[in-house]
A and B are shown apart, each in its own frame.
Chain A
Amino acid sequence: LAPWVPVVGLEIHAQISSNSKLFSGSQVQFAAPPNSLVSFFDASLPGTLPVLNRRCVEAAVMTGLALNCSINKKSLFDRKHYFYADLPAGYQITQQRVPIAVNGSLSYSLCIDNKMSQMVTKTVRIKQIQLEQDSGKSLHDDTRSQTLVDLNRAGVGLMEVVMEPDMCCGEEAAAAVRELQLILQTLGSSQAVMAEGQLRVDANVSVHHPGEPYGVRTEVKNINSIRFLAKAIDYEIQRQIEELENGGTILNETRAFDSKLGCTVPMRDKEGKQDYRFMPEPNLPPLILYDAKSLPANMNHQQVINIDWIHERLPDLPSVKRKKLVEQYGILPEHSFTLLNEDGLAEFFESVVKQTQMKPKKVIGWILKDLLSYLKQHSLTVKESPVSSFLLADLLNLLEKKEISSTAAKQVLAELWKGEGKTPLEIVKEQKLELLQDQKELEQICQAVIDGHKNEVIMMVLG
């Protein structure tokens, strides 16, 4: 059987972290009472006009720069038309002709064969980033034959990030999305929490034989976590291979991932292909951005966005942070990945290192094995940890000074998890876990043991 080459591309919608919406002044807030964050413009009241939110543009520029994109100094807004209950104007304002950023790349890392010790770096090309409006939410109440519409989300700013089909499987897609998530969170341009709908991923999947043209692709939607993303993609790849090997064909369709069944199913057909009748948005002039060179001398700083100014103020991206951690603390690259992967863990680690004499290379083991596994077991975040960095550092100092053994340290840690407010030293004393350093005392104890077990000793001496 000829091998199959799976091809995976991604369309990611990241909700912009901003106080107000992309084109209106109403607030952006998760889980507010229905229809409490809706301005006249969001409700599409006739005569209202869009006004571009500066913060959203800055978020998109930051994201574009972080993804090595070219920022288009002139980009345009368009209307994309379709009728749906959660789209009050009957069109979405997006950037179809000329988006704000193009031609970037994202590097991400994977473990080979599930061994943390072997990491490989891959790159996926970023086709473009465009600004667009989010839609409202509609809930179908079939029992009462009605649709309930909540427009709180209508008009919230989105960055659509399009990743080229450079990935080959669920694992790669998951790793790429994870890295994007970290970047967005580091920049602050999006909180990118999938569970809160701040990051939505659609996957485009196809398979073909090497040397042959790409196969028909399907779009997979309704993916609610990174874990499900990998599952959905891998399922779809398998489904397509099986279908084709059985002589079937792949339809260019949209499929939804059913997380309970672990499979993709065709979505309700929207009557053939949609013609969105794209048209320029006449109420928004072209978006002009400047850099240090092109910035006119007398321009009001409030009125313009300077790409270079934003570039200078970008925080360290995850890849840079990891490098620094490795260089500064002598930990392994895969360690740095885990540190950054967990919200607050890197800061926790650094905090412990500051407060202890134990070498970072040793501290890392405690962080990644003991602390992290405990947190995972109890589904806690680093912030929720009952053991603070101070307490852990305290404990590690006892170990470093050889006042307790490493086994004893683990025991103390187990006790610390209870969060009863005791210090490591108190626990050590309570449970009598002190390491005996006194030679004479040790001899006395050994002698006492030998004396107490004379028969066993004779048996041992005799062989």
Chain B
Amino acid sequence: AALNGGLRSQVSAALKEGRVTPTELCQRCLALIKSTKFLNAYITVAEETALKQAEESEERYKRGQPLGILDGIPIAVKDNFNTAGIETTCASNMLKGYISPYNATVVQKLLDQGAVLLGKTNLDEFAMGSGSTDGVFGPVRNPWSYSKQYKEKSVPKSHSEDEESNWVITGGSSGGSAAAVSSFTCFAALGSDTGGSTRNPAAHCGVVGLKPTYGLISRHGLIPLVNSMDVPGILTRCVDDAAVLLGSLAGHDPKDSTTIQDGFKPFELPNLTDVSKLSIGIPKEYHAPGLSSEILALWSKAADLFKNAGAKVVEVSLPHTPYSIVCYHVLCTAEVASNMARFDGLEYGHRSDMKDSTESMYAATRREGFNDVVRGRILSGNYFLLKQNYEKYFVKAQKVRRLIANDFVKVFRSGVDILLTPTTLSDATPYTEFIQEDNRTRSAQDDILTQAANMAGLPAINVPTALSERGLPVGLQFIGRSFQEKQLLTVAKWFEKQVQFPVIQLEEVKRHDTDVFQHQKSASFS
């Protein structure tokens, strides 16, 4: 069986034909999780329940009655989704030990289709961050730090220096999920995306990261960061797999009043051969300050790729792009201040021992439960929501948000089908360097290319494109029209085929499945 292959085209077939069993898949993933523990991608590994689910799946395959493509497929879920009976922590002291009584809708959907839930992945605390470095369980390490490709290119600065200090971040905040998919410990993972939290780590970890249109996938059970921007994100190793996951998750949920009412029909992606009818927009404002020359070159090369294949490639303008970060900060912190108000230690979660009064208990609980980043955002958010500030900041930001969204509307109306942009400003930063700047600074820098799509509620996807000079993944982003995921993914799939992004060469993975990988002939893009 090809663990590297697509779900629909290869794994599903292998399971159906009995060439591999769900239990075998599950066991392999669990073993690999153990041997890649140093990545710190998982907060909780649900070994017992996963094996049980795999067993049940196996029974179904034996009877010839699998529930669908996802039956028996091991998946991981970011630890800000509620999972009944399995700890949900949001990488925070506030929810350490919290066992939710219900499943998030997306989790339930996956389980209903027979997916095997391996565990909960690591993140920045309450999804606030762009590095997956600020959670109470420690930072996530990018699997590419240990790849042959990175090691070959890295020049040790001193004799004593080893991998330990050289490792790079995954990006964030869904770093654990991205690392899990990237290191083959699962076939797909759920992340969340509020300002780029799925696409950013996808780019740094060399995997596909899909941010669906706001309202397409239910948020019920996703512990919110910014209710008006959050979406569940999908991380997979190829675009086809993202389409499979999307098909199983999208659609109206009566429990989430912000999901669309219209019916959603899952789709299979066509193999696009002719791109001549396509119009690709290149937004000039995405040539942002700090964009590495490497990525700039890659972006340009990608544009040429489309042009040479016959597509129409035009430069467009999204003039309000530079304002999106400040706008985001106002709206995000305001919603955070509001969403975090429920954490008072009364009904669930951490409760301080402070007993002098209710107020002092609240204050101590929240100080003990939240890290600096969360507390900082709460304070900022409350400031912006004060009566005397509301018009100046919150309402103003809402207006700017409308302008940002309108930028996209205008561009799409002018005949552009898809926008092509970089996903990140550079390849993954080494951890020691990343932590030199604070969370807020980093977030402001790293979200700049991904944030506007959340403002506008549009679908966007990171497609791994090539390796950087340092041997680390670089991805490019496609942004599509509202609810036009089929078109977006179709184009992304065509692009993926053109660039033939190389497979990660990880010692641990090789040890487990020497015969399992089809070594792809890399007509490598770079």
Contact = CB atoms under 8 A, between A and B. Distances in A.
B220 A46 contact: no
A45 B338 contact: no
A40 B222 CA distance: 14
B338 A91 contact: yes
Interface residues of B, number: 45
A406 to B, nearest CB: 66
B292 interface: no
B190 to A, nearest CB: 13
Interface string B209-229: 000000000011111101110
Interface in B94-150: 95, 100-102, 104
B38 to A, nearest CB: 30
Q: Name the residue among B257, B261, B343 with the largest chain A CB count within 10 angstroms.
A: B257
Contacts of A48: 220-221
Given A45-B347, A47-B100, A277-B382, A89 B341 contact: yes
B228 A282 contact: yes
Q: Is the interface of B mostly helix, strand, loop or mixed?
A: loop
Contacts of B386: 275, 277
B256 interface: yes
Nearest to B388: A275
Nearest to A86: B346
B348 A285 contact: no
Contacts of A79: 338
Contacts of B337: 81, 277
Interface in B393-424: 394
Contacts of B261: 303
A235 to B, nearest CB: 32
Interface string B241-268: 0000000000000111110010000000
Contacts of A40: 101-102
B82 interface: yes
A442 interface: no
Given A45-B101, A45-B347, A49-B257, A282 B342 contact: no
B220 A49 contact: yes
A51 interface: yes
A278 B384 CA distance: 11
A52 B227 CA distance: 17
Contacts of A278: 385, 387, 390
Contacts of A83: 341, 344, 359, 362
A358 interface: no
Contacts of B394: 279
A421 B460 CA distance: 81
Interface string A254-292: 000000000000000000000101110011110000000
A124 interface: no
A159 B256 CA distance: 24
A51 B390 CA distance: 27
B355 interface: yes
Given A46-B342, A91-B338, A51 B358 contact: no
Interface residues of A, number: 31
B338 A49 contact: no
A43 B348 contact: yes
Contacts of B255: 49, 51
Nearest to B253: A49
B428 to A, nearest CB: 30
Given A40-B102, A83-B362, A49 B341 contact: no
A454 B222 CA distance: 105
Contact of B347 (A88, A91, A145, A147): A88
A38 to B, nearest CB: 9
B347 A282 contact: no
A332 interface: no
A47 B342 CA distance: 11
Interface in A112-152: 145, 147, 149
B82 A46 contact: yes
Interface string B79-105: 001100000001000010000111010
Nearest to A151: B347
B335 interface: yes
B257 A282 contact: no
B341 A91 contact: yes
Contact of B387 (A43, A149, A275, A283): A275
A43 B340 CA distance: 14
A277 B100 contact: no
Given A48-B220, A50-B257, A279 B387 contact: no
A47 B385 contact: no
A211 B81 CA distance: 62
A103 interface: no
Nearest to A277: B385
Contact of A279 (B100, B256, B334, B340): B334
Interface in B321-358: 334-335, 337-338, 340-344, 346-348, 355, 358
Nearest to A145: B355
A90 interface: yes
A5 interface: no
A357 interface: no
Contacts of B81: 47
A285 B341 contact: no
A43 B337 CA distance: 18
B223 A47 contact: yes
Contact of A283 (B101, B257, B341, B382): B257
A85 interface: yes
A314 to B, nearest CB: 28
Contacts of B222: 47
B362 A47 contact: no
A279 B90 CA distance: 24
Contact of A88 (B101, B258, B346, B382): B346
12 contacts: A43-B348, A44-B342, A45-B82, A45-B100, A45-B347, A51-B255, A81-B385, A85-B358, A90-B342, A91-B338, A279-B335, A285-B258
Interface of B: 81-82, 90, 95, 100-102, 104, 219-224, 226-228, 254-258, 261, 334-335, 337-338, 340-344, 346-348, 355, 358-359, 362, 382, 385-387, 390, 394
Given A46-B90, A91-B341, 19 more contacts: A43-B347, A45-B100, A46-B95, A46-B100, A46-B223, A47-B81, A47-B104, A52-B257, A81-B337, A81-B338, A81-B385, A90-B341, A91-B338, A277-B387, A279-B335, A279-B394, A283-B256, A283-B258, A303-B261
The 9 A-B residue pairs with the shortest CB-CB distance in the complex, in nearest-first order: A90-B341, A277-B385, A282-B227, A282-B228, A44-B342, A46-B223, A47-B221, A89-B342, A47-B223
